[in-house]
Amino acid sequence: MIRASNILRVGFALAVWCGAALAADPLPPEKIGVATAPVPTPHRLYLTDLQIAHITDGVVHIVDGQSFKYLGMFSTGLFGITALTSDSSEMLVASTYYTKRNRGDRFDQLEAFDTKTFALKKEIQIPAKHAMALPYKGTIAPSVDDAWVFIQNATPLSSVTVVDHKAWKVTAEIPTLGCWIVLPSQSNPRRFATLCGDGTLVTVTLNEKGDSATQARSEKLFDAEKDPLFVQGERVGDSYYFVSYEGNVKVINVGGDVAKVEDAWSLVDDADKKAGWKPGGYQLQAVHAATKRLYVGMHDAAKNGSHKNPAKEIWVFDLATKKRIQRAPGSNSIAMALTKEAKPTLYAYDGINLNFVRYETAPELKPVASGDKVGDFAGLIETH
Amino acid sequence: MIRASNILRVGFALAVWCGAALAADPLPPEKIGVATAPVPTPHRLYLTDLQIAHITDGVVHIVDGQSFKYLGMFSTGLFGITALTSDSSEMLVASTYYTKRNRGDRFDQLEAFDTKTFALKKEIQIPAKHAMALPYKGTIAPSVDDAWVFIQNATPLSSVTVVDHKAWKVTAEIPTLGCWIVLPSQSNPRRFATLCGDGTLVTVTLNEKGDSATQARSEKLFDAEKDPLFVQGERVGDSYYFVSYEGNVKVINVGGDVAKVEDAWSLVDDADKKAGWKPGGYQLQAVHAATKRLYVGMHDAAKNGSHKNPAKEIWVFDLATKKRIQRAPGSNSIAMALTKEAKPTLYAYDGINLNFVRYETAPELKPVASGDKVGDFAGLIETH
Amino acid sequence: MKWFDEFFERQARAVAQKTSRRSALTKISRALVGTAFLLPVLPFARVAQAAHGGGAAPDAKLDPMNDTHCEYWRYCSLDGFLCTCCGGSVTKCPPGSQASSVTWIGTCHNPDDGRDYIVSYNDCCGIASCGRCFCNANEGERPGYRLSVHNDVNWCMGNESSIYHCTVSVVLGVSGGAG
Amino acid sequence: MKWFDEFFERQARAVAQKTSRRSALTKISRALVGTAFLLPVLPFARVAQAAHGGGAAPDAKLDPMNDTHCEYWRYCSLDGFLCTCCGGSVTKCPPGSQASSVTWIGTCHNPDDGRDYIVSYNDCCGIASCGRCFCNANEGERPGYRLSVHNDVNWCMGNESSIYHCTVSVVLGVSGGAG
């Protein structure tokens, strides 16, 4: 009886309100709804946040870099690793679930969130081995044509799960013992390379079905002991630009059967070395192919263990001349990414103030604006 | 081959270390282990933390009130509601799960954590209706003899799930429409009362098997409109001490078939009223039966909506004379609890600094020490 | 006005489901003096805010017409994250979330037109906690035995996923027809 | 010495499982100067700490023998929550959690005896993140292709529950037999 009488009462009250509305123009009754995601721009930023203090509750924050307005989020769960598809239409997430939240049976999934609607588009179970890693670029990666998704595994033994993106099924698990990070090739979408602990790269080439692969190990291309490469590679065609702990650039081509070094040079001169300037951060550099620019987060007085320090400065190099052409304030950057534009904007993530800083890149690199705090334990930016 | 050779290498290295150990007394190799939970004392504090910014990751923090040392935690998940058993041997938690963390199929569980070992002792599925409420006392409650566990439900329709604690099975779901909070009786462990929106209390009496119940509604015992009772009731025998928004005490006996008011008086005199002193907080009062003391968190300049404000002062009342006998600093208390001792200690949780404050209660109430920050969105203290 | 009819029916059902009294619709007058809420950055500021709210001097930055601040007039009984800071708006849930099927209700004074309005606080559900712009206001808020005006429960409770994300504030109408 | 034999075998297996090189056991000298880490309260302080660590003046409060502070000597490559703040100890996981079956390794200088020690950083697993005393030190830390000396992965990965809670620091022995 309670229900019926209340409906009458509510109905009466609403009728009264409606009468009032006509008489004196109060605010009209409103309808609740769900917002439509805004049309993406090149300045839309995706920030992957591990949330270490609440490890099962990872997210990707979606922010408009022009207004720094918060647009929404994707839930990524326990050590979710993330990558935009090459066409930016989906955010790919590999994550781990337990049937009882923190316990029970483990299962892993690859999930695709629609960047147009922010809704979960599709999901598929994958081998329960996905690398529970901080969000480094290349822990998960689409092929350049988005036909394949490559997912780093660690049990801690390394392997790579291959997913046919169109058929949306797992086709293979490729053992890559002692190697880490997927580096897709541009010229051959069924090929990727991976960095190995002995200083070699292993190049994996899948067959057409993606269910078997050949592997070829390069010569030793870097010294993993004395001058390790940061795993954050910036791709231009088939070439990946890496920087090393000691401040050397190495350009490695992954287009062929076997990876090879194309070029190598140093970011630091004798004076820089004396002051201890070295690269540091998580996503610590960015490359823009058209304008031939390399941006690297640097800190001075570097010492054993400072290689993840926030940037004191961001150094700008001309890839043609291999010369430093500018030093800009570092904004405590621990992650940075360029917009995919002919005249790019650089976005840095300040690891101390936990906010985005926008830099114009021309005529020279310059911080121009910063947003409010976003994220708690974030380390990877992607631009739409 | 890698594995075998490494085992040899590690073996060799360890042999070398052992040699060194004998020669010059370096630190010996250590063994990893899991700590044993300390023996509980009356000063062990359990703090239920909803973690609203990470709603699936709720916890109970366990802290030693004497040293303020952090002892461990229980995971309580999504809006887990909690209660110590009457013998303090278990922390009971009713929580909600989804098969895919944030989505999928919902199921609810009652879980019992062992306060001796901090391990999950047992779990059972319960109707998927548990009240997703802030951690108010009485959202879940054991009977005084620990034979039964009563769990508040909300769909939002109210009901109470009854669990046979020894048999560890659900025996009934009792509809309690429009009512909220379980108030177990001492004299009859199969009886509880609940506060209803029309100002009555409904008394529920279970049969011996706990699978059916009779209900009796009291007369109107309080004015839910003009002077609502805070739901935090402090039990002495069959009597619950409540305070109201306007600062009145109401003592309600739930021992009989029908609840009745035993006593009622005011916390505030005319001068207090003029200054706007009113009770406020979440777990806003505590009663000590042996010493006949009531402690209430109070704030002045109260206004509509200030009833959850942290305490500016804690007022002490003598239950025999119904007089205020002391005003002590409030420590921004939003929750407080007494140790279960003949000469009790009061612990308050500072809702602004997010730490515990210890008060001696004799010869008078006085804050004597405070701990480090613990918790993010906590609102309920229990003492062992 | 089809949307309005549907809206009316849905709200009436929702209200009927969760209250056994007409209390939800009772006009509760709003004290304007001293309602200067801080804009909290962290969740625990809910209490800091509540504390400072008591008798704090009005602050010029606290604009009752700014819907990303706690002191926005509609938020007088809102306990949660503002959807306006989470990718939604005052009345719209962020993309990818779902509006709650049941709600609690407040009565808030609009300083712009001098009227008191019934506001429905719908939680938005199904994605991880937003964690931004936490507010905790409690005008007219009552304990759980008056569930329809209680804000210390998860109003995503009736949804397919009851994961709480943020809260919107939807005007249902003028309070008690007094506007 | 049965416990030691078991320990030896278990550690040897664990190390063998996760590294393809002897690098884990390579002595990495520890720079003592300027290793003044702050004691962070919030997770994001990992980076603040890292930033301030660079060239900061020594602080009397930063005691390398206090095991609830980031600058405790064993924590030279620890990235996570200190179990000493979570109900455990330097070598023991908090009650109710499980020690990780695989680990990463650091080489840390003990100022008390002047020796460098191999330290195994075991994560403790199976209960929600502790969230207290976050530290991020990276001496000798290497990228994921040297997984056994990499601290940006979840070393609970091999456990029945891989939920990360906190990290302990277990002395395996003197580095390179040089002690």
Query: Is D79 within the bounds of a domain?
Result: yes
Asked if residue B156 has a cis previous peptide bond (ω within 30° of 0), the answer is: yes
Is the pLDDT assigned to residue D3 strictly greater than 50? no
Is the pLDDT assigned to residue B147 strictly greater than 80? yes
Separation between Cα atoms, residue A118 and residue A44, nearest integer Å:
13
**Type of residue numbered D159:** N
Is the pLDDT assigned to residue B177 strictly greater than 50? yes
Give the minimum alpha-carbon distance from B77 to chain A in angstroms, rounded to a whole number. Answer: 8
Separation between Cα atoms, residue B255 and residue B241, nearest integer Å:
14
In three-state secondary structure terms, B270 is helix
Mutate to test the interface with A, among D19, D30, D47, D76 (most CBs of A within 10 A): D47
Average pLDDT, chain A: 94
Is the pLDDT assigned to residue B133 strictly greater than 60? yes
D83-130 pLDDT tens trace: 999 999 999 999 999 999 999 999 999 999 999 999 999 999 999 999
Does residue C127 sit at the A interface (CB-CB below 8 Å)?
yes
Is the pLDDT assigned to residue D56 strictly greater than 60? no
**The pLDDT value given to residue D50:** 35
Across the range B249-258, mean pLDDT stands at 98
Decide if A17 and C174 are in contact by the 8 Å CB cutoff. Answer: yes
Does residue C47 sit at the A interface (CB-CB below 8 Å)?
no
The alpha carbon dihedral of D114, D119, D124, D128 has a sign of positive
Query: Residue B319 carries which DSSP code?
Result: T
A128-162 pLDDT tens trace: 999 999 999 999 999 999 999 999 999 999 999 99
B206-245 pLDDT tens trace: 999 999 999 999 999 999 999 999 999 999 999 999 999 9
- In this predicted complex, what is the ipTM? 0.89
Q: Count of CB atoms within 10 A of residue B7's CB?
A: 16
Which pair of tokens denotes residue C123?
A: 């939680």
DSSP assignment of B3-16: HHHHHHHHHHHHHH
Q: A254 near A193, Cβ under 8 Å?
A: yes
Decide if A34 and C89 are in contact by the 8 Å CB cutoff. Answer: no
Give the minimum alpha-carbon distance from B24 to chain D in angstroms, rounded to a whole number. Answer: 8
Q: D110 near D33, Cβ under 8 Å?
A: no
Decide if D110 and B72 are in contact by the 8 Å CB cutoff. Answer: no
Of B2, B57, B177, the CB nearest to A56: B57
Query: Is C37 within the bounds of a domain?
Result: no
Residue whose C-alpha is closest to residue D148's, from D27, D58, D40, D17? D17
**The pLDDT value given to residue C65:** 80
Residues of chain B found within 8 Å of residue C152, distances taken between Cβ atoms:
133-134, 136
Decide if B19 and D113 are in contact by the 8 Å CB cutoff. Answer: no
Query: How many CA atoms are closer than 13 Å to the CA of A188, on its beta-carbon side?
Result: 18
Decide if A75 and B102 are in contact by the 8 Å CB cutoff. Answer: yes
Across the range A86-90, mean pLDDT stands at 98
Query: Is C136 within the bounds of a domain?
Result: yes
Query: Which CATH number do you get for residue C94?
Result: 2.60.30.10
A91-136 pLDDT tens trace: 999 999 999 999 999 999 999 999 999 999 999 999 999 999 999 9
Which residue numbers in chain C have pLDDT < 50? Answer: 1-60, 178-179
129-158 in C: which are within 8 Å (CB) of A? Answer: 129-130, 132
DSSP assignment of D165-179: EEEEEEEEEEGGG--
Residues of chain A found within 8 Å of residue C113, distances taken between Cβ atoms:
26-27
Query: Is D37 within the bounds of a domain?
Result: no
Decide if C47 and B334 are in contact by the 8 Å CB cutoff. Answer: yes
Decide if A351 and D51 are in contact by the 8 Å CB cutoff. Answer: yes
pLDDT band of residue D62 (cuts 50, 70, 90) is low
Task: Tell me, yes or no, if C104 is annotated catalytic.
Answer: yes
Decide if C162 and B96 are in contact by the 8 Å CB cutoff. Answer: yes
Query: Is C95 within the bounds of a domain?
Result: yes
Which pair of tokens denotes residue B349?
A: 């949780």
Is the pLDDT assigned to residue D63 strictly greater than 80? no
Give the minimum alpha-carbon distance from A251 to chain B in angstroms, rounded to a whole number. Answer: 29
Separation between Cα atoms, residue A311 and residue C155, nearest integer Å:
44
Residue in the block written with tokens 């086709």: A171
Of C25, C95, C122, the CB nearest to A117: C95
Chains near B, with 3+ CB pairs < 8 A? A, C, D
Q: Which residue of D has its CA nearest to B376?
A: D131
For chain C, what's the residue count?
179
Question: Which pairing describes strands C92-93 and A33-34: parallel, antiparallel, or unpaired?
Answer: parallel
Chains near A, with 3+ CB pairs < 8 A? B, C, D
Does residue B51 sit at the A interface (CB-CB below 8 Å)?
yes
Burial-class residue B103 by CB neighbours within 10 Å (0-12, 13-18, 19+).
middle
List phi, psi (to 5°) of D10.
-65, -45
Q: Which residue of D has its CA nearest to B6?
A: D16
B34-82 pLDDT tens trace: 999 999 999 999 999 999 999 999 999 999 999 999 999 999 999 999 9
Q: What range defines the domain where residue C94 resides?
A: 2-32+42-174
Catalytic: which of C67, C104, C116, C155? C104
Mutate to test the interface with A, among B56, B101, B177, B374 (most CBs of A within 10 A): B101
Mean pLDDT lowest for which of A185-194, B208-217, B318-327, D65-74?
A: D65-74
**The pLDDT value given to residue C25:** 26
SS (H, E, C) B85-123: CCCCCEEEEEEEEEEECCEEEEEEEEEEEECCCCCEEEE
**The pLDDT value given to residue D64:** 74
**Type of residue numbered B310:** P
Across the range D21-50, mean pLDDT stands at 27
**The pLDDT value given to residue B153:** 98
Residues of chain D found within 8 Å of residue B119, distances taken between Cβ atoms:
95-96
Residues of chain D found within 8 Å of residue B3, distances taken between Cβ atoms:
16-17
Query: Is D179 within the bounds of a domain?
Result: no
Query: Is D77 within the bounds of a domain?
Result: yes
List phi, psi (to 5°) of A9.
-65, -45
Decide if C138 and B308 are in contact by the 8 Å CB cutoff. Answer: yes
**Type of residue numbered A85:** T
Separation between Cα atoms, residue B279 and residue B379, nearest integer Å:
16
> Could you give the number of structural domains in chain D?
1
Query: Is D165 within the bounds of a domain?
Result: yes
Decide if B309 and C77 are in contact by the 8 Å CB cutoff. Answer: no
Give the minimum alpha-carbon distance from A122 to chain D in angstroms, rounded to a whole number. Answer: 25
Across the range A71-97, mean pLDDT stands at 98
Does residue D8 sit at the A interface (CB-CB below 8 Å)?
no
Catalytic: which of D67, D79, D116, D123? D123
Of A136, A195, A332, the CB nearest to D51: A332
Of C98, C124, C173, the CB nearest to A29: C173
pTM above 0.90, yes or no: no
Give me the residues paired with residue A193 across strands: A183, A203
The alpha carbon dihedral of C162, C167, C170, C176 has a sign of positive
Query: How many CA atoms are closer than 13 Å to the CA of A157, on its beta-carbon side?
Result: 12
Catalytic: which of C67, C79, C116, C123? C123
Distance of CA A113 to the CA centre of its chain: 14
Separation between Cα atoms, residue B152 and residue B110, nearest integer Å:
12
Does residue D68 sit at the A interface (CB-CB below 8 Å)?
no
Task: Tell me, yes or no, if C123 is annotated catalytic.
Answer: yes
Supply the angle between the helices B2-24 and D2-18 in degrees, to the nearest 10.
Answer: 140
Q: Which residue of C has its CA nearest to B176?
A: C145
